[in-house]
Structure 1
Amino acid sequence: MGGNGAWFMSLAVLGALHVAAVAFRVLSRLVLLLPRRPTDLRRYGAWAVVTGPTSGIGQSVALELARRGINLVLVGRDPAKLQDISDTISSTNPAVQTKTVVVDLALVATPKGDEALRLLRQAVAGLDVGVLVNNAGLAKPCALFLHEADVEAWVRMIRVNLWALTEVAAAVLPGMVERGRGAVVNIGSGTTQAIPSFPLYTIYHASKRYHAFYVF
């Protein structure tokens, strides 16, 4: 009986620790929903860099930063869409300046990608960039076994979700370090927090999980 009791207690302790860990993760995210005084992002710098600003979360972030009076460097692969979001910002926030940089982040770590990143470094040179939003991401191909898609499709996903985040940060961070201020926001995926493994989305899941652990 004594051995069985000790075994039961060990399982009970492990169960309690697991429940406590899960509860802590849930509460730590619920805290983010509590009302807080808006941060004056201009104290970090006059400019922000946003990747993937032409749709979805990236577009919403760009518009909100513009509303707060932050000038924007908009980084994306489609010149026409970049011009559209730039025009929208200029029409709704005339005092806000914008720059557009055409970069196909799926070409990072290739000669074409190196040239595009050189243009990004030139664009931010001399600017008081205080905020970087690494938003660009690639989710396709979706729900496939590894052999069901061309390997280049998976490599493109890794380039966008993982390598590009690092390369863009490397282009922007030196200025922040020199000025002693700045903020970096990496847009990950809720799936990497809620689901320990994500069948048929392994590469997407792993590449977005990198966002949670990569601390600049």
Structure 2
Amino acid sequence: MDADDHLMQRCFLSLAVLGALYLASVTFRLLDLLGIPTSFFLLRPTDLRRRYGAWAVVTGPTSGIGRSMALELARRGLSVVLVGRDADKLRDVSDAIGAAHPGVQTKTVLFDLSLVSTPQGDEAMRRLREAVEGLDVGVLVNNAGVAKPCAAYLHEFDVEAWIKMVRVNLWAPTEVAAAVLPAMVARGRGAVVNIGSGSTEAIPSFPLYTIYAATKRYVAQFSRSLYVEYRSKGIDVQCQNGSRASAPLFVDTKMASGVTKAKRRSLFVPSSDAYARAAVRWIGHGALCMPNAAHRVQRCIAAAVPDRVHDWLRLREHLRQRALFQRLRSARAAPGTTSTTAASGNSETHGKDRRD
């Protein structure tokens, strides 16, 4: 083989290596755009009980994503501490877990999270700490959230209404995480999952839901920073749906039902059970994630739309929702009128009215 042949072979090999590197770079960028860490493909499904601990704490577990997450964690073999404000509904979820998974234990803690950082909230936080004391709490799911007031200008409600939203969506996950982290640090393992929102990252604004979106933006940054702080201590912290891979997403829950009625049965609107199955599988795979595959596709589409178009579309849609909610409130307020549209997205609940 002469020198020219050797030169051609070396050039071919060099081009092949460069092509492979370029293809790998494009692949990794595409995975990053879709919010999929490479570890998701390299690792088998996690045995949460063995990796993190025997117990999970779930806030807002009485319906929607919270209930589905509690049941899914129980299916994975974790006992569950259920934290919410309605004793009857907590008992119902506890009974459902016991019936479906006889070997799984449950505890319930009454806690109205809209009272966080008040004397009543401090007492409820004390009860929560007592309930988890001595338990091998491996997973915390900060799911509870509210969107009331929804589709409203800032001046249309008094400050206390916004403060309640801030307490549930922002202060509560902070205080609950602070309550369980010391024991996780002592054991050198654990996972904290904070449920964020697609309203905070993939789209530039979320008008008429401003406080809601702002609180969820906090959740994303809070989670990302805690991930960096605690990963060396064996603790995974993750924000789901609140990442740079987020989109204007919906999950079919009571909070979303009033504004996504026409979108039900869509591939882009998963049921809370389907969402929970994916969400639990993603625990431990990155600081910020989007569990639902259809949501990731939706995010890619949203990324191609200019900010001005997003702003116009969001404002137009949310003004339509505002008009609808005003009509519903007027109908409920009318003498002798009973509205059957309880899921209009305007009821204040923890974990059952979620718009993510």
Alignment TM class, shorter chain as reference = 0.7 to 0.9
Unmatched segments (≥5 aa) in structure 2: 1-28, 227-356
How far apart are residue 145 of structure 1 and its match? Answer: 0.9
CA contact (8 A) 2:139 2:192 kept: yes
- Residue by residue over 1:51-104, the C-alpha shift from the partner in whole angstroms, topping out at 9 and shown as x without a partner, is 011111111110000001100000001111000000000011010000000000
1:149 matched residue in structure 2: 157
- Residue by residue over 1:1-23, the C-alpha shift from the partner in whole angstroms, topping out at 9 and shown as x without a partner, is xxxxxxxxxxxxxxxxxxxxx96
Q: 1:26 aligns with which of 27, 33, 44?
A: 33
| Bigger CA radius of gyration | 2
- State the one-letter code of the partner of 2:171: W
**What is the alpha-carbon distance in structure 2 between the residues aligned to residue 144 and residue 35 of structure 1?**
45
**What is the alpha-carbon distance in structure 1 between the residues aligned to residue 208 and residue 84 of structure 2?**
27
The number of residue pairs the alignment matches comes to 195
Pairing 1:111–2:119 present: yes
**What is the alpha-carbon distance in structure 2 between the residues aligned to residue 29 and residue 106 of structure 1?**
34
TM-score (norm 1): 0.85
1:178 matched residue in structure 2: 186
Cα distance, 1:86–1:199 mapped onto 2, change above 3 Å: same
Q: What is the RMSD of the two structures over their aligned residues, measured on CA atoms?
A: 2.0
2:65 matched residue in structure 1: 57
**Which is worse superposed, 157-166 or 188-197?**
188-197
Unmatched segments (≥5 aa) in structure 1: 1-21
Pick 1 or 2: higher relative contact order, CA cutoff 8 A, min separation 6. Answer: 2
- State the one-letter code of the partner of 1:153: A
For residue 34 of structure 2, give the secondary structure of its aligned residue in structure 1: helix
- State the one-letter code of the partner of 1:104: D
Pairing 1:46–2:66 present: no
**What is the alpha-carbon distance in structure 2 between the residues aligned to residue 55 and residue 93 of structure 1?**
18
**What is the alpha-carbon distance in structure 2 between the residues aligned to residue 186 and residue 61 of structure 1?**
12
**What is the alpha-carbon distance in structure 2 between the residues aligned to residue 24 and residue 200 of structure 1?**
32
1:126 matched residue in structure 2: 134
Pairing 1:91–2:99 present: yes
**What is the alpha-carbon distance in structure 2 between the residues aligned to residue 101 and residue 113 of structure 1?**
12
**What is the alpha-carbon distance in structure 2 between the residues aligned to residue 128 and residue 100 of structure 1?**
16
For residue 95 of structure 1, give the secondary structure of its aligned residue in structure 2: coil
For residue 28 of structure 1, give the secondary structure of its aligned residue in structure 2: coil
Cα distance, 1:31–1:204 mapped onto 2, change above 3 Å: farther
1:37 matched residue in structure 2: 44
1:212 matched residue in structure 2: 220
How far apart are residue 174 of structure 1 and its match? Answer: 0.6
For residue 183 of structure 1, give the secondary structure of its aligned residue in structure 2: strand
Cα distance, 1:203–1:37 mapped onto 2, change above 3 Å: same
Q: 2:166 aligns with which of 158, 168, 186?
A: 158
**What is the alpha-carbon distance in structure 2 between the residues aligned to residue 199 and residue 180 of structure 1?**
42
For residue 200 of structure 2, give the secondary structure of its aligned residue in structure 1: helix
2:85 matched residue in structure 1: 77
**What is the alpha-carbon distance in structure 2 between the residues aligned to residue 132 and residue 160 of structure 1?**
16
How far apart are residue 33 of structure 1 and its match? Answer: 8.6
How far apart are residue 141 of structure 1 and its match? Answer: 0.7
Percent identity between the aligned chains?
A: 71
**What is the alpha-carbon distance in structure 1 between the residues aligned to residue 37 and residue 153 of structure 2?**
34
**What is the alpha-carbon distance in structure 2 between the residues aligned to residue 63 and residue 196 of structure 1?**
34
Pairing 1:197–2:205 present: yes
Cα distance, 1:130–1:28 mapped onto 2, change above 3 Å: same
- Residue by residue over 1:119-151, the C-alpha shift from the partner in whole angstroms, topping out at 9 and shown as x without a partner, is 000000000000000000011110111110121
**What is the alpha-carbon distance in structure 2 between the residues aligned to residue 55 and residue 193 of structure 1?**
26
**What is the alpha-carbon distance in structure 2 between the residues aligned to residue 124 and residue 23 of structure 1?**
41
TM-score (norm 2): 0.52
CA contact (8 A) 2:58 2:82 kept: yes
1:18 matched residue in structure 2: none
For residue 121 of structure 1, give the secondary structure of its aligned residue in structure 2: helix
How far apart are residue 211 of structure 1 and its match? Answer: 1.2
